[in-house]
Structure 1
Amino acid sequence: MSVTNRPFRFSCQAYRSTSAREWRELARKIEDLGYASLQVPDHYIGPGPALGPTGHSAQVLAAVPALAMAAEATSTLHVGTRVMCTGYRNPVVLAKEAATLQLLSEGRFQLGLGAGWLAAEYAAMGIAFPPARERIGLLAETLDLVRQSFAGGPVDVRGTYVDVTGFSAVPVADPPPPVMVGGGSRRVLELAGARADIVSVNFSNASGVLGPEALASSTPERTRRKIDWVRAGAGERFDDLEIEIGVYFAAVDSGTGGGAGQLSARTGLDDEQLSAFPHALVGSADTICEELERRRAEYGFSHITVGEAVVDDFAPVVARLSGR
């Protein structure tokens, strides 16, 4: 199956609930609306002078316990991380948490991994922020570890950043969860193409700030270049990949959220630029469906993630395209 005709799959990224009841109800709504999965990112610090200048919103819920509760509250919804920062936890702990989520969700977990980019958060948490080469090296060796851990048997990774041996991993993740690797740099996307099951194509966040530089890194031209990097890393396995993208700016004409004008004000993109921007979708449900099919043909995007703010507005698109 080619990446350009892989069936569509839709996810909702959420993390803002402030009570157990609200979180369970949101998970069940996402499931009832036909989304394939609920994804939670991996950030820890709240509002304040560390986070404010970065343009990144505060994440209320931590990923692992939130996903465990969401899986327990639902029956078919998959849950996943988008994406766990490999610099924030010991890789053995990460692998065991992932295998446990896969076991307790009865095979409904997806492990997303990234190299980390939000330097201000590292600093606020008292964690060293190594150069990109080292962060990507840790990501690559963590992939080795989680693959071994999911397979069962002895774990033995003797790398520069991960040095682990002398035990067998439990629990065994059977079947193992799919692994998604996300990012926007050449090295991360080539690694994702070579080693991941799902590739998440994202902004290039080398500046550590969500702003004009991040948007400029994801124009149609720059996004085509990113797909070329994925293809270069994947080689003959390219068509076996699922390629995911986050729609961070969405305005469905029939929905209750803000319209295209508000999105233009937020992004600085005019109507024409916004309609073609790979991380935005605007217009009627019909227009958005047509645009998603066009982008699947051009870029290979079949796994589409939207934010919880538009989960209802986007439901007609999900209903029409899921599995097509």
Structure 2
Amino acid sequence: MNKHRPLRFGVQEHRAHSAKQWRERARALESIGFSTLYLPDHLSDQPGPIAALMAAADATTTLRVGSLVFDNDYRHPVVLAKEAATIDLLSDGRFELGVGAGWLVSDYDQAGIPYESAGTRIERLEEAVQIIKKFFAGVEFSFTGKHYTIKGLEGAPSPVQKPARLCCWEAEAVACCAWRRGRRTSST
């Protein structure tokens, strides 16, 4: 049995000049063989990824859509999990959720969000991933952590994909593992 996944090609987009142009671009990418359309999550002159990814999924039939990556500090993990599960449901299981600890200081500054130490942002990300996974299980859950507290929340809707695709940005995952193992630098 071959356990290798087929090679896929994805593309990162970041501009939408009109709804028509955005839908046509998504359909064109699908027609020439791209498997996934990704959108970053920054506060610059790009479309908001949640609405844009849903529009791209709605305009296509096989193209997967995904975030590259959602900054954990911009959205509470319960809200992000609900949005992600909804996109997955409405796209018939074609959503890939990427979440990270955040890194672009200018986004934080422009939005007035405190840019805390890497250690703090990674701690929050670890808790957020636990919450998102619990939400995706589709049952009532509670969570108490240093940064988040959830009380008796039912994870609904449930994503179509079982298990749902949840990825952390690789560099942040490595930093997260190193941080957990006590290899903290003076900047954390």
Q: Are the counterparts in 2 of residues 85 and 113 from structure 1 also a CA contact under 8 Å? A: yes
Amino acid at match of 1:161: H
**Post-superposition shift, 1:183?**
4.1
- The corresponding residue for 1:181 is 168
Query: 2:132 is matched with which residue: 146, 151, 156?
Result: 146
Structure 1, residues 219-275: CA drift from partner, whole Å, max 9, x if none?
xxxxxxxxxxxxxxxxxxxxxxxxxxxxxxxxxxxxxxxxxxxxxxxxxxxxxxxxx
How many residues in Structure 1 have an aligned counterpart in Structure 2?
176
Query: 2:82 is matched with which residue: 96, 108, 115?
Result: 96
Amino acid at match of 1:12: V
Q: Are the counterparts in 2 of residues 13 and 41 from structure 1 also a CA contact under 8 Å? A: yes
Matched, 1:79 2:26: no
Amino acid at match of 2:97: L
Q: Percent identity?
A: 40
**Post-superposition shift, 1:45?**
3.1
- The corresponding residue for 2:96 is 110
Unpaired segments ≥5 residues, structure 1: 47-59, 192-324
| TM-score where L is the length of structure 2 | 0.87
SS at match of 2:73: coil
Q: Are the counterparts in 2 of residues 150 and 174 from structure 1 also a CA contact under 8 Å? A: no
Matched, 1:42 2:28: no
Structure 1, residues 157-178: CA drift from partner, whole Å, max 9, x if none?
2111121122212111132431
SS at match of 1:170: coil
Aligned equivalents of 2:95 and 2:5: distance in 1?
20
SS at match of 1:148: helix
Structure 1 stretch 89-98 or stretch 168-177: which is displaced more?
168-177
| Larger CA Rg, structure 1 vs 2 | 1
Aligned equivalents of 2:5 and 2:56: distance in 1?
27
Aligned equivalents of 1:2 and 1:160: distance in 2?
42
Aligned equivalents of 1:183 and 1:78: distance in 2?
20
Matched, 1:128 2:114: yes
Q: Are the counterparts in 2 of residues 36 and 78 from structure 1 also a CA contact under 8 Å? A: yes
Amino acid at match of 1:13: Q
| TM-score where L is the length of structure 1 | 0.52
Aligned equivalents of 2:48 and 2:80: distance in 1?
14
Aligned equivalents of 1:24 and 1:156: distance in 2?
39
Structure 1, residues 266-321: CA drift from partner, whole Å, max 9, x if none?
xxxxxxxxxxxxxxxxxxxxxxxxxxxxxxxxxxxxxxxxxxxxxxxxxxxxxxxx
- The corresponding residue for 2:9 is 10
Unpaired segments ≥5 residues, structure 2: 179-188
Q: Are the counterparts in 1 of residues 36 and 65 from structure 2 also a CA contact under 8 Å? A: yes
SS at match of 2:93: coil
Q: Are the counterparts in 1 of residues 92 and 160 from structure 2 also a CA contact under 8 Å? A: no
Structure 1, residues 85-130: CA drift from partner, whole Å, max 9, x if none?
0010111111100110011101000000111001111011011111
Aligned equivalents of 1:16 and 1:175: distance in 2?
28
- The corresponding residue for 2:182 is none
Matched, 1:25 2:24: yes
Q: Are the counterparts in 1 of residues 69 and 99 from structure 2 also a CA contact under 8 Å? A: yes
Aligned equivalents of 1:87 and 1:2: distance in 2?
39
RMSD of the TM alignment (CA)?
Answer: 1.8
